[in-house]
Amino acid sequence: MTRNNYEESLKGLYHDTITMAGMVENALIQAMKAVSKGDDALAHVIIEGDAEINAKYDEIEAKCVNLIATQQPLARDLRLVVSVMNIIVDLERMGDHAADICSMMVEAGGDAWSGTEFIPEMTQHTIDLVKKAIDAYAYNDSELAEAVRTMEQEQDEAFHATVERIVCDMEQEPSRVRRGVTLLFVVKYLERIGDHAANLGESVIYSLTGRHEKLN
């Protein structure tokens, strides 16, 4: 492989990862749209679409392994490839959680999703956090990656506040216990997605600086 081909392979990894990130971000947004509207058809689209995210993960991972095996990248190039391998793991798990949310919705039935006024704030925090982390990677911006730390803390606060509201509602209205339990799982999945976004920010910082920093 010539130097030009090697550079193109690195650029290809970047573009493939951006594509996968876009797929995951869209899956999350559409999953929460399905929840807010009780849309079973849209939920099934997200569940079935998770296979495409998994396939993209396999494709990128194979390219990373091949590049390491054949080119033995060093220094910043090696950090870039290792970071991509870590980032796609977090992206794949975010996609899984979006599909998990939709699966729970389908299993619980539409009645469980009436009055989902407890989760919009948590949802928006999570989507904004994921977008920020993806932008940090897209623009190679360590400051954006650092900002993920603050947003992840805010998301944790939103998580605890949302859980408290759901539990309070369940205590006041026993008829809402079934819905409340389902919503607790949903917000837990959102919290986990936020954790993976923070991991993504850490990978960006490592790629750019060589520093391992915990953002969550």
Question: Cβ(60)–Cβ(45) under 8 Å?
Answer: no
For the chain, what is the largest distance between any 2 Cα atoms, rounded to a whole number of angstroms? Answer: 68
Residue 1 has pLDDT above 70, yes or no: no
Question: Cβ(190)–Cβ(118) under 8 Å?
Answer: no
The 10s digit of each residue's pLDDT in 142-191 is 999 999 988 988 888 889 988 998 899 889 888 878 888 888 999 999 99
Question: Cβ(133)–Cβ(197) under 8 Å?
Answer: yes
pLDDT of residue 112: 52
Residue 121 has pLDDT above 90, yes or no: no
The 10s digit of each residue's pLDDT in 39-50 is 899 999 999 999
The 10s digit of each residue's pLDDT in 52-89 is 999 999 999 999 999 999 888 888 899 999 999 999 99
Tokens standing for 66?
């091949």
Q: Rounded to an integer, what distance in angstroms lies between the CA atom of residue 160 and that of residue 120?
A: 14
pTM for this model (two decimals) = 0.92
Q: Rounded to an integer, what distance in angstroms lies between the CA atom of residue 1 and that of residue 126?
A: 41
Which H helix or E strand runs over 116? Answer: none
Q: Rounded to an integer, what distance in angstroms lies between the CA atom of residue 175 and that of residue 76?
A: 57
User: Which string of b and e fits 9-20 if b means at least 16 CB within 10 Å?
Assistant: beeebeebbeeb
Q: Where does the pLDDT of residue 106 fall: very low under 50, low under 70, confident under 90, or very high at 90 and above?
A: confident
